[in-house]
Structure 1
Amino acid sequence: MCGIVGAIANRDVVPLLVDGLKRLEYRGYDSAGLAVVAGETVRRVRRTGRVSEMEAAAAAEGLHGHLGIGHTRWATHGGVTESNAHPHISAGELALVHNGIIENHEQQRERLRALGYTFESQTDTEVVAHLIHHYRAQGASLLGALQRAVKELHGAYALAVVDRRDPGTLVAARMGCPLLVGLGEGENFVASDVSAIVSATRRVIFLEEGDTAELTCTGVRVFGASDAPVEREVHVSDVSLASLELGPYRHFMQKEIHEQPRALSDTAEGILDAGGFDPALFGKDAAAVLADVESVQILACGTSYYAGMVARYWIEDIAGLPCAVDIASEYRYRKVIANPKQLIVTISQSGETLDTMEALKYAKAQGHDRTLSICNVPESAIPRASRLVFYTRAGAEIGVASTKAFTTQLVALFALAVALGRQRGQVDGAREAALLDELRHLPGSVQHALNLEPQIASWAAAFAPRQHALFLGRGTHYPIALEGALKLKEISYIHAEGYPAGELKHGPLALVDTQMPVVVIAPNDALLEKVKSNIQEVRARGGEMFVFADADSRFSDSEGVHVIRTPRHVGVLSPIVHAIPVQLLAYHTALARGTDVDKPRNLAKSVTVE
């Protein structure tokens, strides 16, 4: 993985490819490259580091052509070296870029070596290039060679391929990793993300599992898993160029943190317009699907998993249903007890998270057909595989560390909890109206929390020189402590852990000293007095406290205890409001440490490998 763009046009495609790769930088990568068919040759430029370095090298070499492919790589097989960077070339004739992981690459490598192929990289991708070339040498067309080759691959892939012997064709294939085709006038494109081609076209076809495609300047043909021609729907993307630009902000993460009032308002709009939490928010047949649900199973990864942890409290409290939350990569490898009346909820910003997609497939294979996805990207793989869907309206999220996707997921999960409660008679009209009113006031409360940014930024100086930090929360705010720790470690590289505050004395208290800052989330709820007792445990060991307290929590600064007052307690939606300060703390600490906020090391935005 991580990013693919390809183009065939009646103009020089190098500027298009470079622009596309720059728009894919947010996904995370460690090297970049492109290859073009120029005359009767394939010319390639690759560099470790930033796209700008590769762009300068391409300009120095005068690279140009009407057919080409580009890639940003996040290393899986083999280190971060130029020889491992994509595109990979076979026999000087065929160039290929690849997202995903080929699980049987070792067996194919031995076979291809026996056929006389030599390998220049440590990657699984080079195997695919040689395999397609092998079938070309046997007389297959470029498309035919691709179709034969992918049938011998085990694993996940998105592929784009060009060949100097067929300068009028670009071919592509998809299995398990996102890939789309962009339709232009006298030019066509492939990309792993619509943002890569939005400056050239908004008309896209989302390839489905097992699809292959053949692109020329004048048309596109798509073939299904059986290699028979198929018709795929053309969509008009609503991704705007403005959403992909920084505007007045220093980083996309900062921009996206500040976009949360708007994103939350947009996500809640359908609920508020409907005047209630109608099951129809999740799909036409949602009332029937949700009618006799006996339990809920949430599957997600990373930040989305923490959103699911908050939702467990809501679903059990509001809907009165048992709810389990599993990390998707763990669920898919354990024996589960199937219950046809269990609702399977998958959460993914991109809708392409491989572990979550595979967990959904596993659940369905066990007989679960009540499936709901919460996702930010329309027509992505996970929603297409689910019976019901709720699309968050966060807009494009560029920063690798998720912010507005997380809080809008929480709104979607809150809506699900109330809808289930209404279905089951647990939520009457008066309570639904009260919960709707809390939702209506949420964007304003989040804006108030954003206004605390100068105060939060002043704390960053205390965190920047530290190597460790502890985050504490209780109840629905324990997952926010986990999320705060994740954000800090993701972008500042400070080791941080989140704990339920009541667990302090069961081990973590041994770590507390004057060099360990402790962040406490202290809303004015039923557990406030318990949290205050936990704070005293830390202070007795010399720990320095940084407390995010509601305005009505009656906290005050004292020696070793620093307090920032968030808005007054907002009830059940308080975890969403308290997510804002921990996001800002991580952001400003990363600034103080001089790390790359939007592209943290070793991480990628859309995780499409296991």
Structure 2
Amino acid sequence: MCGIVAAAATGRNIVPVLLEGLRKLEYRGYDSAGLAVIKGGRLERLRAVGRVAELAALAAPAGTEPLGAETGIAHTRWATHGVPCERNAHPHISGGLAVVHNGIIENFEALKAELQGQGYVFTSDTDTEVIAHLVQRELKGSADLLDAVCAAVRQLKGAYAIAVVREEDPQRVIVAREGSPLLLGLADDGNYAASDASALLQVTRRMVYLENGDVAELTPGGHRVLRADGTPVERTSVLSQLSADAVELGRFRHYMQKEIFEQPDALANTLELVGAAKSVQPGLFGAEAETVLRDIDSVLILACGTSYHSGLAARYWLEEVAGVPCTVEIASEYRYRTSVPNPRQLVVAISQSGETADTLAALKHAKGLGQPHTLALCNVPESAIVRECALRFITRAGPEIGVASTKAFTTQLAALYLLTLAVAKLKGRLSAEDEAREIDALRHLPAAVSAVLEQEPAIQAWAEHFADKRHALFLGRGIHYPIALEGALKLKEISYIHAEAYPAGELKHGPLALVDREMPVIAVAPNDALLEKLKSNLQEVRARGGELYVFADAKVDLGTGDADGVHLIQLPEHYGKLSPVLHVVPLQLLAYHAALVKGTDVDKPRNLAKSVTVE
């Protein structure tokens, strides 16, 4: 979950490039930051606790010449082994070489004991330091840094992306990947590497995506890729479709706010192929999709966090519309229990980044059980989960920098609804008339979300009311229960208000004991078949003195009149089965504005990182 940037250039000071790359990668971790460069044949290292801004200040202290070099590596950390402090910050050094690392080395304790027995001294609590000493040890038997890195990574167990520089090789960077994302950036003035393409858009859009088990050498004049056993391989370069503007804040205060307001465009882009068609084509999910989707008899969804909530909502659609049984599993739990495999089941892996370690491991476990029909639903086309699956659907949300996911979630919902329609059509459960009506609804969805965003001022006023509360309860029924779960997650992630979500019918089975004037209750009240049941649940809250904040569809009458303690915001329209896409947007805005009132770090909440690439 850490971020790596590396550069081997000529005629260019790469320190500003490294620092700007780290700023783009702070969503991956921000406990500490550091860099190491080769300057005048000597290794220079800077490390700082906290944000990249602290490191940048060290690189350009007032009244002195800024640090400059042509070769170097940099890192922003999300702590796994060892508390956030300078001694645990990367890069880690052994002799005249430095290493940065993303991932977890599972056998580091055994390697550390072995290295200590050979006289190597450890100065940190991290698993990363063993890599530096391993490479140093291998250099004693080999004069070549590339060979030494290959020999070292063959001894590692776990997930890693690493970058290595050495004083004796002032124009070389060696990188390696196994399980954690790493790509190369090719430019006229040098060659670069990073955890994410966004970090390199400042210098190039020509990227090479490394595969698991790859080791690469970067020099100012070129690059080469080989396997850890030394076998040369070719990796095709591609032109990234991202633009530098896509990862800039523009007129917004925070990335989360920007990404909330980008949802109409993100949905329009994701649904573009459907909007221009008159039918839902299974080919949207891959060349073999029609055969696979026609044959499946059930669906298994694997996901974590926000993506798990999108899967929970999809279960209602798949079973109601497509008539296909659906199970949704938390990926981190699925692989550690005994389950019953079904070779005719479609396994859907959902991940914004496509690098979520738990979801990737669960997907591989499902395949290992003899379930070959796999579909990746992801926002990053070159990611590990996409490459692992036979079928794929790429949401076109664009870069999502804020740790708390917003536009990735709504585009996941849109993609899962498309999957539902495709399966329903192949199963003979979607008439031509219904298909045309559903396509019209999807075409109008971006405009409907835009109308919901106009409710921001009223939602902001709500946030002022309860931002000082310590707890909140979210309620929903049916398919809107997963939306309540997502709303509670957003609030707790960025405002640190403890929030729970329950199906509203479960109130009397326990949670009602918590309700009082100090426990705000946020309810999702669409104008659907469960509305009358929900009204009864809300009356239960009012009878106990609870304060209600209700997001309802237009023309919904809660039967409370102007009662004290009842706050109501009505969305512009009821949107049928796609209502969850609309109703989650005000919950995102509520969490955002509550966090603003509390003064928390919206885009980088404590203890969290965006791309969870470790188990």
Same fold, TM-score > 0.5, yes or no: yes
Q: Which TM class, normalised by the smaller chain length?
A: over 0.9
Deviations 1:521-551 (A, max 9, x none): 0000000000000000111111000000001
The answer for the alignment partner of 2:267 in structure 1 is 264
Is the counterpart of residue 561 in structure 1 residue 562 in structure 2?
no
5 Å matches for 1:571-610? 571-610=576-615
Q: Residues 296 and 322 of structure 1 are in contact (CA less than 8 Å); yes or no, is this contact kept in structure 2?
A: yes
The answer for the alignment partner of 2:210 in structure 1 is 207
Is the counterpart of residue 66 in structure 1 residue 76 in structure 2?
no
The answer for the alignment partner of 2:29 in structure 1 is 28
CA distance in 2 between partners of 1:609 and 1:351 (Å): 13
Superposition deviation, residue 65 in structure 1: 1.3
CA distance in 1 between partners of 2:348 and 2:73 (Å): 36
Superposition deviation, residue 220 in structure 1: 0.7
The answer for the alignment partner of 2:88 in structure 1 is 84
Give the 3-state SS of the residue equivalent to 1:525 in structure 2.
coil
The answer for the alignment partner of 2:343 in structure 1 is 340
Greater CA deviation, 426-435 or 585-594? Answer: 426-435
The answer for the alignment partner of 1:364 in structure 2 is 367
The answer for the alignment partner of 2:3 in structure 1 is 3
Is the counterpart of residue 452 in structure 1 residue 472 in structure 2?
no
Is the counterpart of residue 158 in structure 1 residue 161 in structure 2?
yes
Deviations 1:117-139 (A, max 9, x none): 10110000001111111101222
CA distance in 2 between partners of 1:376 and 1:513 (Å): 41
1:66 aligned partner, one-letter code? E
Q: Residues 151 and 228 of structure 2 are in contact (CA less than 8 Å); yes or no, is this contact kept in structure 1?
A: no
The answer for the alignment partner of 2:44 in structure 1 is 43
Unmatched runs of 5 consecutive residues or more in structure 1: none
Is the counterpart of residue 55 in structure 1 residue 56 in structure 2?
yes
1:596 aligned partner, one-letter code? D
Q: 1:211 to 1:46 in 2, by over 3 A?
A: same
1:591 aligned partner, one-letter code? L
Superposition deviation, residue 71 in structure 1: 0.3
Is the counterpart of residue 487 in structure 1 residue 493 in structure 2?
no
CA distance in 1 between partners of 2:135 and 2:614 (Å): 22
TM-score of the pair, normalised by structure 2: 0.98
Q: 1:557 to 1:31 in 2, by over 3 A?
A: farther
Superposition deviation, residue 276 in structure 1: 1.8
CA distance in 2 between partners of 1:148 and 1:140 (Å): 12
CA distance in 2 between partners of 1:351 and 1:37 (Å): 34
Superposition deviation, residue 440 in structure 1: 1.4
Using the aligned pairs only, state the percent identity.
Answer: 61
CA distance in 2 between partners of 1:509 and 1:48 (Å): 44
Q: 1:507 to 1:140 in 2, by over 3 A?
A: farther
Deviations 1:61-111 (A, max 9, x none): 7422111000000010000100000000112x0100000000111000000
Q: Residues 30 and 52 of structure 2 are in contact (CA less than 8 Å); yes or no, is this contact kept in structure 1?
A: no
The answer for the alignment partner of 1:97 in structure 2 is 100
Greater CA deviation, 272-281 or 544-553? Answer: 272-281
The 4+ residue runs of structure 1 with deviation greater than 4 A are none
Greater CA deviation, 437-446 or 584-593? Answer: 437-446
Give the 3-state SS of the residue equivalent to 1:288 in structure 2.
helix
CA distance in 1 between partners of 2:588 and 2:49 (Å): 30
5 Å matches for 1:2-401? 2-10=2-10, 11-60=12-61, 62-91=66-95, 93-401=96-404
CA distance in 2 between partners of 1:531 and 1:434 (Å): 28
Superposition deviation, residue 346 in structure 1: 0.5
Q: Residues 209 and 225 of structure 1 are in contact (CA less than 8 Å); yes or no, is this contact kept in structure 2?
A: no
The answer for the alignment partner of 1:496 in structure 2 is 499
Superposition deviation, residue 140 in structure 1: 4.4
1:35 aligned partner, one-letter code? A
The answer for the alignment partner of 1:546 in structure 2 is 549
CA distance in 1 between partners of 2:312 and 2:347 (Å): 14
Deviations 1:126-160 (A, max 9, x none): 01111111101222411111111111111000000
2:315 aligned partner, one-letter code? R
Superposition deviation, residue 27 in structure 1: 2.6
CA distance in 2 between partners of 1:65 and 1:185 (Å): 17
CA distance in 2 between partners of 1:441 and 1:186 (Å): 46
Unmatched runs of 5 consecutive residues or more in structure 2: none
Superposition deviation, residue 401 in structure 1: 0.4
CA distance in 2 between partners of 1:562 and 1:416 (Å): 36
Deviations 1:42-68 (A, max 9, x none): 100000011111111111274221110
Q: Residues 351 and 377 of structure 1 are in contact (CA less than 8 Å); yes or no, is this contact kept in structure 2?
A: yes
Q: Residues 473 and 519 of structure 2 are in contact (CA less than 8 Å); yes or no, is this contact kept in structure 1?
A: yes
Give the 3-state SS of the residue equivalent to 1:410 in structure 2.
helix
The answer for the alignment partner of 2:534 in structure 1 is 531
Superposition deviation, residue 227 in structure 1: 2.5
Give the 3-state SS of the residue equivalent to 1:546 in structure 2.
strand
5 Å matches for 1:392-471? 392-471=395-474
1:6 aligned partner, one-letter code? A
Superposition deviation, residue 335 in structure 1: 1.7
CA distance in 2 between partners of 1:487 and 1:454 (Å): 19
Superposition deviation, residue 168 in structure 1: 2.0
Q: Residues 28 and 77 of structure 2 are in contact (CA less than 8 Å); yes or no, is this contact kept in structure 1?
A: no
Superposition deviation, residue 277 in structure 1: 1.4
Superposition deviation, residue 163 in structure 1: 0.6
Q: Residues 557 and 563 of structure 1 are in contact (CA less than 8 Å); yes or no, is this contact kept in structure 2?
A: no
Aligned length: 609
Give the 3-state SS of the residue equivalent to 2:202 in structure 1.
coil
Deviations 1:226-280 (A, max 9, x none): 4311111111111111111111111111111011111111111111223221100
2:278 aligned partner, one-letter code? G
Give the 3-state SS of the residue equivalent to 2:60 in structure 1.
helix
CA distance in 2 between partners of 1:225 and 1:436 (Å): 49
Superposition deviation, residue 225 in structure 1: 4.6
1:204 aligned partner, one-letter code? M
CA distance in 1 between partners of 2:603 and 2:187 (Å): 31
CA distance in 1 between partners of 2:14 and 2:145 (Å): 20
Deviations 1:383-404 (A, max 9, x none): 1111111010101111110000
TM-score of the pair, normalised by structure 1: 0.99
